[in-house]
Structure 1
Amino acid sequence: MHRCKEKNFIEKNFTGLKWQCVEYCRRWLLQNNNLNFESVNFAYEIWKNINFCYNIKTKKQISFFNYENVSSTPPKKGDLLVYDKTFLQTGHVAIVVEVDLCKKYIRVAEQNYHNKIWKADYSREINLNIIKKNSCVFCEVADDHLLGWKSFA
């Protein structure tokens, strides 16, 4: 895992410490949705401590919703996958960039996970498990240490 103390900004908006997963997600949200969220010390803190993001142009708050891993609401493009502190004591966060429920996978963009050059426009493809229980259908992202996904309204 790469650690750097250099701070990164986009148009005066602080995104975090360069080369870290939180910085990448904040930068992605800024560049794709004009959204940002408050600072955290570690990625796993996003799960409990970040309940909203805000539009940097309008300053409007937008609610973040937590969906635990194994949910009737599948992840969607732009959601944040948040990993527990059992992953390297800091947790991890990644952006969902593609979902294919028929082929049962998601693709994520992230920084500081494998630290390898991406072979495509995503860093990893993760299997989805579709679980049918009684008359309900649940979705599980097959990845260790995953708390779940955060989705903004």
Structure 2
Amino acid sequence: MNYPAWGTVMGQPFGVIAYCNTGFTFDRNKIHEYQTYWPKEETGLARDVYIGFKYQCVEYARRFLTLNFKAAFQDVPHAHHIWALDTIEDCTKEEGTFPFINFPNGSQEPPKFGDLIIYPYSKEQRFGHVGVIINVNLEEKFVDIGEQNYEEAGWECPEYARRLIMKIENGQYFITNQRIGKPYDNWDIKEEIFGWKRINFNQNK
């Protein structure tokens, strides 16, 4: 199967480009070319921001939050470690953070735009995974995900990477890994989801 080349644009919802990570070959001599830093002099933010390693899932998630909310979570070893973070940096100030709240799958609080969807470590995803919830439809019960480095085939369409079925039972919200419009026999059939993670802008520290 012909997959998109590394660096191919997969989509650009809400002004944030998602790039393909298929076919990446690590060259230690080029490590500084893979890492992305945004100096405050170029962004207008109050602090420098380390965006991440091209074009990993964590890099996309941090870049999305920085561009849309001017907040960036700290550097983490792997994607699943984001779930353990209690705060996220307020990039409009030299110092200061916001609470970074977890909503485990099955919470009574529905997901919303800008929440991060977090996957744990698994056999298929050895570093876990993180994506961004870019659309929530409570009536039709689905969420759209923006992400990088989830699978080689890339995005389903330019508007979103995957459209996932959401179940609502007894006032609880469950995001499944089943995709609308596709037979559920993909490699990720048994992948679990920690839940969604949200910035609490009402409490600045």
Q: TM-score, normalised by structure 1?
A: 0.90
Amino acid at match of 2:126: Q
- Give the SS at the match of 2:194: strand
Amino acid at match of 1:70: G
Gaps of 5+ in 2: 1-20, 40-47, 178-190, 201-205
How large is the RMSD of aligned CA atoms in angstroms?
A: 1.6
The structure 1 residue matched to 2:129, chosen from 62, 71, 92, is: 92
Residue 167 of structure 2 is matched in structure 1 by 129
Residue 8 of structure 1 is matched in structure 2 by 36
Tell me how far apart the structure 2 counterparts of residues 97 and 131 of structure 1 sit (CA, whole Å): 22
User: Does the CA contact (< 8 Å) of 1:76 and 1:99 recur in 2?
Assistant: yes
Amino acid at match of 1:8: T
- Give the SS at the match of 2:79: coil
User: What pairs with 1:100-119 in structure 2 (closer than 5 Å)?
Assistant: 100-115=137-152, 116-119=154-157
Amino acid at match of 2:144: R
Larger-gyration structure (1/2) = 2
Matched pairs, number: 148
How far the C-alpha of 1:74 sits from its partner, in A, is: 0.9
How far the C-alpha of 1:60 sits from its partner, in A, is: 2.7
Gaps of 5+ in 1: none
- Give the SS at the match of 2:135: strand
User: Does the CA contact (< 8 Å) of 1:19 and 1:112 recur in 2?
Assistant: yes
Tell me how far apart the structure 1 counterparts of residues 155 and 113 of structure 2 sit (CA, whole Å): 22
Asked if 1:151 is matched to 2:189, the reply is no
Tell me how far apart the structure 2 counterparts of residues 39 and 123 of structure 1 sit (CA, whole Å): 24
How far the C-alpha of 1:146 sits from its partner, in A, is: 0.6
- Give the SS at the match of 1:44: helix
User: Does the CA contact (< 8 Å) of 1:10 and 1:27 recur in 2?
Assistant: no
Asked if 1:80 is matched to 2:116, the reply is yes
Residue 99 of structure 2 is matched in structure 1 by 63
Tell me how far apart the structure 2 counterparts of residues 117 and 95 of structure 1 sit (CA, whole Å): 13
How far the C-alpha of 1:117 sits from its partner, in A, is: 4.4
Name the one with the larger strand percent: 1
User: Does the CA contact (< 8 Å) of 1:105 and 1:125 recur in 2?
Assistant: yes
Tell me how far apart the structure 2 counterparts of residues 107 and 85 of structure 1 sit (CA, whole Å): 22
Residue 25 of structure 1 is matched in structure 2 by 61
